[in-house]
Amino acid sequence: MKTPTAFLRLVSAAAFAGTLTAAVALPAAAQVDLTRIAFVGDSEGAGFSSGCLTKRVQVDSPGAIIARTAGVDFQQPIVNDPGLGGCLVLTSLAPSFTREASTGTPANLSLPRPYNNLSIPGCAIGDMVRATTAAETQSAGACRLFIDLVLRNSALHIGSPIAQAVALNPTFVFLENVGNDYLGALLSGTVIDGVTVTPIASFTADINTALTTLKNKQPKGIVFGVADITSIPFATTLPPFLTSGGKLVLNPATGAPIPLLGPKGCPTGVPACPIPANTIVTLNAAGYLPSGFGIPCAVAPTLPNCNKPLPAAALDATHPGALIYAADVAFLKSRGAEYNAAIQAAATATGYKYYDVNDFLLRLKAGFDIGGATVNANFLTGGAFSYDGFHLTPIGYALLADDVIQFMNANFAAGLPRVNLSTYLFNGGTAGGLSGSSALYVPLNGEDYERGVQGIFTLDFSRQLASMFSLSKPALVQGDGDMVPRVEPRHRGIEQP
């Protein structure tokens, strides 16, 4: 096996210090009070990373970094290491990965007031407005698992995340929801409006309720837009073509790339046919490809499941979908744009400032060069996204916090210094992150890269990610002409690889 080479271009401390000196210069006098920050959010606000919630990353959640920069108290629902969810960690440079035990215990339960960080993994905007306990969440996924840890209503009896933010009597508010209202559609591979995607009417009503309620208590705040979930590494890493050793496999007769196989658009009686080039192949496909799903038998006749299609929707609880065809991609992009239009309108009505997450993600995709170290959005090799393909690393959270700080300085004259990024680049975070050492991530060649992707995205891990957003299943769903009874999908020959 080839030995991976370093994948961040780290430079001398002297060269890096020159960059940081400029980055931490103080702006003019502050005109905003950050004494009591209320941060209502989701897993990104919580500091969730690599499939888990743990102290090693929570201390570098965006709100915690901003508060630390401002020198103010910021209490969080800290979970002692090894955390909850089973943190994915790199165990060797081979590369190989493992999951830590999900045995972390709460470390700050006795705080006699709401936490400053009211971010709950898996919760959508409706949960932030209404849910007070696990039984009241709209999702059976991570929101239900974590909401009681964060709200503690058995002791506080205060109410929803929005209600608890108001009870803090905050001097500044963040409302962050970067995609939980439709991320479940991508992670499960099943795109159904009203089931895995929140309808725009209810989203609009809830974002207006949330911002109006917060504004009536504290008129100064920031509301985040939602992210284009089709642009995160989970959706952009794998091409719609067959690869080997990180390179496209070409048809010897035509010289063209060989498309993977899916179930849609096939002639009658043909279970699998080439997928169009505009199809998203999610990281879930890594759990199917090694045994032959999606691969023509003409290319790999010894694989037991060759000529079988990659699933285009969740087949059952253990087999999430791996393909998002063009029509569903267009729908998800359109719905994300509708969400952001609703957020911007609510922000204008309430006076809250709208922070464009997609603008940040586009710049992150292009890459940040920081004192000679390049950090970008590439899966495994970019440094900003964690092993689950959609949550950030402490480096990514620090870059996001720094960008928000610049936004605050421009819009509120907050007078905050820029984030000192050396700790995140050289040590993995203020508490080491999930790396456990100064080795942040490992740069991988094509062969090792494919092995790394497959080592992480087993079907079991894909199932656990999809289950973070297990929304309720209505008895009726939209058919070609009208509402029809729900019919659970059948396996269609899919077996456990």
Confidence label for 316 from pLDDT (cuts 50, 70 and 90): confident
Q: Tell me which of 105 and 9 has the higher pLDDT.
A: 105
Q: Which amino acid is at 388?
A: D
d(CA 53, CA 48): 5
Percent pLDDT > 70 in the chain is 86
- Between these two residues, 458 and 92, which has the higher pLDDT value? 458
Q: How high is the pLDDT of residue 31?
A: 81
Say yes or no to pLDDT of 335 above 90. Answer: yes
E strand or H helix that includes residue 413: none
Lowest mean pLDDT among 28-37, 55-64, 100-109, 379-388: 28-37
Q: In the predicted model, is pLDDT for residue 429 greater than 70?
A: yes
The pLDDT assigned to 442 comes to: 59
Q: Is the link from the previous residue into 27 a cis peptide, with omega within 30 of 0?
A: no
151-190 b/e (C-beta count within 10 Å ≥ 16 → b): bbbeebebbbbbbbbbebebbbbbbbbbbbbbbbbbbbbb
What is the rounded CA–CA span in Å between residue 398 and residue 459?
31
Mean residue pLDDT of the chain comes to 88
Q: Cis omega before residue 82 (within 30°)? A: yes
Q: Write out pLDDT tens, residues 185-199.
A: 999 999 999 999 999
What domains appear along the chain, each with residue ranges and CATH number? Answer: 13-229+333-427 (3.40.50.1110)
6/277: higher pLDDT: 277
Of 112-116, 137-141, 316-320, which range is least confident?
A: 137-141
Q: Looking at the predicted structure, is the pLDDT value of residue 469 above 90?
A: no
Q: What is the pLDDT of residue 408?
A: 98
HEC assignment per residue over 262-302: ECCCCCCCCCCEECCCCCEECHHHHHCHHHCCCCCCCCCCC
- What is the value of pTM for the model shown? 0.90
The two three-digit tokens of residue 430, written as one number? 């203020």
- The whole-number pLDDT of residue 472 equals 52
Residue, of 330 and 479, whose pLDDT is higher: 330
Place of tokens 């470390």: 107
Which pLDDT score is estimated for 497? 53
Q: At what angle do helices 394-412 and 357-366 cross, to 10 degrees?
A: 130
pLDDT tens for residues 37-81? 999 999 999 999 999 999 999 999 999 999 999 999 999 999 999
| DSSP class per residue in 472-496 | ---SEEE-SSSEEE--PPP-TT---
State the DSSP H helix or E strand holding residue 76, giving kind and residue range, or none if neither.
Answer: none
Q: What is the pLDDT confidence band of residue 351, given thresholds at 50, 70 and 90? A: very high
CA 184: distance to chain centroid? 10
Select, from the ranges 2-11, 18-27, 399-408, the one with the highest average predicted confidence (pLDDT).
399-408
Nearest to 381 by CA among 427, 429, 441: 441
